[in-house]
Structure 1
Amino acid sequence: MTIFNSSAWIVAPIIIPLIGGLLCFLWRRDTFFIALFISLANLLSVTTLLRQFLLFGPLRYRMGGWEAPLGIALRLHGPALLMLLMTAVSGIGITLYARGYFSFRISALKHNNRHEQQERFFWPLWLMLWTALNALFLSGDIFNLYVTLELVSVSAAALAALSGKPASQIAAFRYLLVSLLGSLSYLLGVVFVYKTYGILDLEMLRQIATPGPGLQMALTLMTLGLLLKTALFPLHFWLPPAHANALAPVSAILSGLVVKGSFFILFTLWFEIFASSITANALDLIGLLGAGAVIWGSLQAIRQQRLKLLVTYSTVAQLGYLFIAFPLTATENISQEVWTAVTFMVMAHSFAKTAMFMAAGTIFLQVGHDRIRDLAGIRKSLPITSFAYAIAGVNLIGLPPSGGFIGKWLLLTAALTSGQWHWSLVIIAGSLLASVYVFRVVSRLFLTPDEAIIQECRPHSPLQEWPALFLAIIALLLGLIAPYFSLILETTEIVANLAPGGGL
């Protein structure tokens, strides 16, 4: 067995960014180059895991050689692998963009010491958050999911407060309190699971979990906590101020990656571990909340006068599509198709929304504001940024060949096939509303040149523009590699029992 076939590689996506975070915290010099090297090394480790997965299928690694329920296990299945790939690729883009962003602030703006301090703290916090996200995707028991979720929340709250402005600090503190409340609710659910079954391992719980009062209470508590962390309507109140007031690289991290972690756990619990305890009524309720998020978030995005707030509320809307998929899984023969759609939408949204926040941040630095009505003609001085925003918007609308198109098309097909046509109306309405708020900005960027604004733009690093375009193009072309992602999802056993039973 060669070194590249060793199952110990499953630990690498956790260890590599952890080492990088510690080095950035201790060294504090040349931290960008440390972060860039760690980003590339992490991508190599995830690529190695992809090779192993295609050769050997889902992987399970016992930490210290101890078997469950006493030991801790890491597991790699199709959805987890795709989330690791998504985070690795987005992470490289975020790392490059953050370098250009902070370099511009330090060289072109005042208060250099404060900006240097922000960059100094950004790198270790970012790599620690990356560590926690990778550990979350690979965790094999529900308590370790709680630990990693808490680490993600603490790192994200610290990053959200990094700008030092009163508005961002208040929003970050509110985010921290909400995250702690959600984590506490999830932890209470874990307590009920352990009291009922005496184990925490996900694979063992999947085999023995049966509907009952203890499991119903546990699922209710864990679901409420995770919905709060995912910012599903109407529990989204903390998200707009936290994302809109953070530094641009932080906003990209929060919207593109962080909210995906709690959704991943919810997906795992509902449709892999405790699928037999989920009722059709519970699925419909989640679907209604998702529909509310799509419509309300889109309408709020249309109303916004600031670009960053518009992008923030579009996050609320786009997250709603993920939950519209829940009631569609009630039809057993299309459940695999539905979760393929969800996976595509998660990845496409991550790349597109990360690119959008990068573009919004670059525009704000260049112009000094993000008032939409005053952004006319930005394409003249920031053509790459403008095209990046427009391409990412294509994905949010759901136009081919983007990943958003594939995801929405699969959801529409599933809704019509299962006879739940009312969900298809929400999906179509959401796409139409998305086209309104996307073209509202694009029309200002491309169709109304304004020489006064053009003259205000300053020389800047290519790192402020190219990473956004890179991620936007990935989101656009995601649909072209759909068969390969479908192969990865079909290899795993995670969707073997998606049809709901009786219980919650």
Structure 2
Amino acid sequence: MTLLVVLLPLLLGMLGGAWRPWRGWPGLVVALLSLLALVWLTQQIATHGTQAWVLDLGTLTLHWRANGLTLLLLLLTQLLVLASAAYAPAYLCDAVQARGRGPAWLWPLMGLLATSLSLIWLAADLLSLYIGLELMGLTAVGLMLLPGREEALAAGMRYLLLALIGSLAFLLGVALLLGGWGRLDLAGLAEAVEPGPLLWVAMALLSAGLLLKAAAFPLHAWLAPVHGSAWTPVSALHAALVIKASFFIALQLWLVLAPRAAMAAWLVGGMGAAAVVWGGLLAWRADKLKDVVAWSTVSQLGYLLIAFPLLIGTSQAVVSIAWGGVWLQLLAHSLAKAAMFLAVGNLMLATGESRVSGLAGASRRFPLSLLSFGIAAISLVGLPPSAGFTAKWLLLHASLAAGQWPWLVVLALGTLLSAAYMFRVFRYSFVEDVELQDYRPVPLRMDLIAMALALASLLLGLTASWPLAILAIAGGVP
């Protein structure tokens, strides 16, 4: 059944490519089967605790495991991939009027992306993580290249080059660990590794490769050009899931291999603080709508990097608070950022403008798209009762408990910057003395999907006890 959780999204993508989602009911059946397989896995974990499997493939042995954190990430992946897949047909057909072979490849690539992400969430050894990471990276590049325009090809090839550099650094780190201790399973490495130059070099290589893939400051310059030329549903998936997978792997490796490296963790936290400020300033100054959302992603990722000094080398009380805060922040940001990219895509298509200043008069013509953007902004800024507020409150509490005062300043400054660049969009949207000469409403389904994800990010804050309870069961805490 666990293999079904991993492989059914790929089958769904293949069916989408063959029948096209707006004509084929087989895709819906496979989607329901995938959700049923996830329900079964949830029941197994709730009843029997953490699940672990060993797959023998000749001379290779793969280790998988599932716990409360795995369940949340699998559920998030399926929700966002299905939402993006449901948004794409109207986007491609009615709005973009895409032609050629690109649209046919979108569905299989979406399915492969979901499969690679599921493999990453379930992996418990470095080989499985590397396989999932490579599949995810190559699939993401393929999705970025689908528009076929010159700027998309240039940005996609730049992304491919940097992704390969990150993969090479990660693979060199894996090779050092294998050569030093002769094993790749995380549980075995946790018992075998010893602090020393070999471990530090390996961790530096692993971390550098993953942080490059995650667009962490100062390795973030590639992100905005890639999103600027990508299709809207692809941007939503990339910002919501792809960069989060690299963060997930990095944090997991640190907790397993370097759980007491407090000084190094503070360095990563400093990178996160710089990302919050610098990404917020770039978003505030950005001229294009997609650039605002892309640089916002860099800033919001900084909050996740602050988790390193809060989880590494601190007391168990601090860890338990920060652990809930960081994963709730990831869930909130993923839902809100996907909703924001979809809402921005709707506004760009409706107005024919890609610039922030081109939104003048949008409040009268496209209130639903602007409302979706605003609700998603509530969570990104961290206003109550959103999940973003609850997550930042937990991170604030953990910082106070750990006595790590700099993060309080970062959280406050990041909130102000987020409000500044979000309200800048609204300032132009509510200019009323401009007549829109050329506009066209987008299909209602596109607006409703963006609204649903935005509301999910908001309502998650009111039901935060539910994901936190799932996170705590069956080994979902470090």
Instruction: Name the TM-score class by shorter chain.
Output: over 0.9
Q: Find the counterpart in structure 1 of residue 423 from structure 2.
A: 439
Q: Match of 1:6?
A: none
Asked if 1 retains the 8 angstrom alpha-carbon contact of 2:361 and 2:435, the reply is no
Q: In 2 relative to 1, CA 131–31 (structure 1 residues): closer, same or farther, beyond 3 Å?
A: farther
Q: Aligned partners of 2:226 and 2:323: how far apart in 1?
A: 29
Query: Residues 349 and 246 (structure 1 numbering): CA distance in 2 closer, same or farther, change over 3 Å?
Result: same
Distance in 2 between residues matched to 1:489 and 1:19, nearest whole Å: 29
Structure 1 residues 449 and 429, CA gap change in structure 2 (3 angstroms): same
Q: Does the residue aligned with 1:71 lie in a helix, a strand or coil?
A: strand
The one-letter code sitting in structure 2 at the alignment partner of 1:113 is R
The amino acid of 2:257's aligned partner reads F
Alignment of 1:219-298 (within 5 A): 219-271=203-255, 273-276=256-259, 278-298=260-280
The match for 1:137 among 112, 115, 121 is 121
Distance 1:288 1:459, change over 3 A: closer
Among 187, 190, 197, the residue aligned to 2:174 = 190
Mapped pair 1:488 → 2:474: no
Which residue pairs with 2:99 in the alignment? Answer: 113
* Structure 1 residues 201 and 163: CA distance shift in structure 2, 3 A: same
8 A contact 1:395–1:404 mirrored in 2? yes
Q: Match for residue 345 of structure 2? A: 361
- SS of aligned partner of 1:72: strand
* Counterpart in the other structure of 1:4: none
Query: For residues 26 and 467 of structure 1, what CA distance do their matches in structure 2 show?
Result: 24
| Residues in 1 aligned to 2:24 and 2:130: alpha-carbon distance in whole angstroms | 30
How large is the RMSD of aligned CA atoms in angstroms?
Answer: 2.0
Secondary structure of 2:65 counterpart: strand
Relative distance call for 1:210 and 1:492 in structure 2 (3 A) is farther
Counterpart CA distance in 1 for 2:26 and 2:281 is: 42
CA shift at 1:64, angstroms? Answer: 5.3
Distance 1:34 1:168, change over 3 A: farther
SS in 1 for 2:124: coil
Q: Distance in 2 between matches of 1:82 and 1:450?
A: 46
Matched, 1:469 2:451: yes
Is the 1:232–1:293 contact (alpha carbons within 8 Å) kept by the matching residues of 2? yes
Letter in 2 for 1:51: Q
Following the alignment from structure 2 to structure 1, what is the Cα–Cα distance between the partners of residues 375 and 170? 37
Whole-Å separation in 2 of the counterparts to 1:47 and 1:493: 18
Match for 2:413: what amino acid?
Answer: A
> AA paired with 2:99?
N
Q: Where do 1:376-415 residues align within 5 Å?
A: 376-415=360-399
| Partner residue, 1:56 | 48
Q: How many residues align?
A: 476
| 2:10 equivalent among 18, 36, 46 | 18
**Any conservation in 2 of the 1:99–1:463 contact (CA below 8 Å)?**
no
Give, as a single letter, the amino acid of the residue that structure 2 aligns with 1:350: S
Distance 1:456 1:45, change over 3 A: farther
Question: Which residue of the partner structure matches residue 324 of structure 1?
Answer: 306
Task: Measure the CA separation in 2 of the matches of 1:322 and 1:178.
Answer: 22
Supply the distance in 1 between the matched residues of 2:471 and 2:230 (Cα, whole angstroms). 35
What amino acid maps onto 1:183 in structure 2? S
For structure 2, the 5+ residue unaligned runs are none
Deviation (angstroms), 1:14: 0.8
Aligned position for 2:435: 452
* SS of residue matched to 1:234: coil
Give the secondary-structure state (helix, strand or coil) at the position aligned to 1:437: helix
**Matched AA of 1:461:** P
| Residues 1:122 and 2:106 aligned together | yes
Partner of 1:94: 84
TM-fit CA distance, 1:32: 6.5
- Of the structure 1 ranges 43-52 and 172-181, higher mean CA displacement relative to structure 2 is found in 43-52
Distance 1:47 1:384, change over 3 A: farther
Instruction: Give the whole-Å Cα distance in 1 for the aligned partners of 2:341 and 2:17.
Output: 26
Q: 1:74 is matched with which residue: 60, 64, 76?
A: 64
What do the CA deviations read for 1:197-256 (whole angstroms, capped 9, x no partner)?
Answer: 211112222233332332222111111100100110000111111112111111111111
Distance 1:171 1:33 in 2: 35
Query: Is 2:336 aligned against 1:346?
Result: no
Please give the alpha-carbon distance, in whole angstroms, between the structure 1 residues aligned to 2:408 and 2:24: 45
Match among 74, 79, 83 for residue 73 of structure 2: 83
Q: Which amino acid aligns with 1:304?
A: A
Tell me the secondary structure at the aligned position of residue 148 of structure 2.
Answer: coil
Shift of the 203–243 alpha-carbon distance from structure 1 to 2, 3 Å rule, reads same
Superimposed CA distance per residue, residues 386-440 of structure 1 (whole angstroms, 9 cap, x where no aligned partner): 1110000001100111111111111111112211111100110000110011111
More displaced, 467-476 or 373-382?
373-382
Asked if 1 retains the 8 angstrom alpha-carbon contact of 2:290 and 2:344, the reply is: yes
Gap change, CA 1:301 and 1:65, over 3 Å in 2: closer
Paired with 1:103 and 1:415, the residues of 2 have a C-alpha distance of 48
Tell me the distance in 2 between the aligned counterparts of 1:471 and 1:64.
Answer: 39
CA contact (8 A) 1:40 1:92 kept: no
In the alignment, residue 315 of structure 1 is paired with which amino acid? T
2:132 equivalent to 1:148? yes
Q: TM-score, normalised by structure 1?
A: 0.90
Q: Work out whether residues 45 and 474 of structure 2, in 8 Å CA contact, stay in contact via their aligned partners in 1.
A: no
Q: Which moved more, 1:29-38 or 1:377-386?
A: 29-38
Which of the residues 287, 295, 315 maps onto 2:297? 315
Is residue 46–residue 88 contact of structure 1 (8 Å, CA) maintained in 2? no
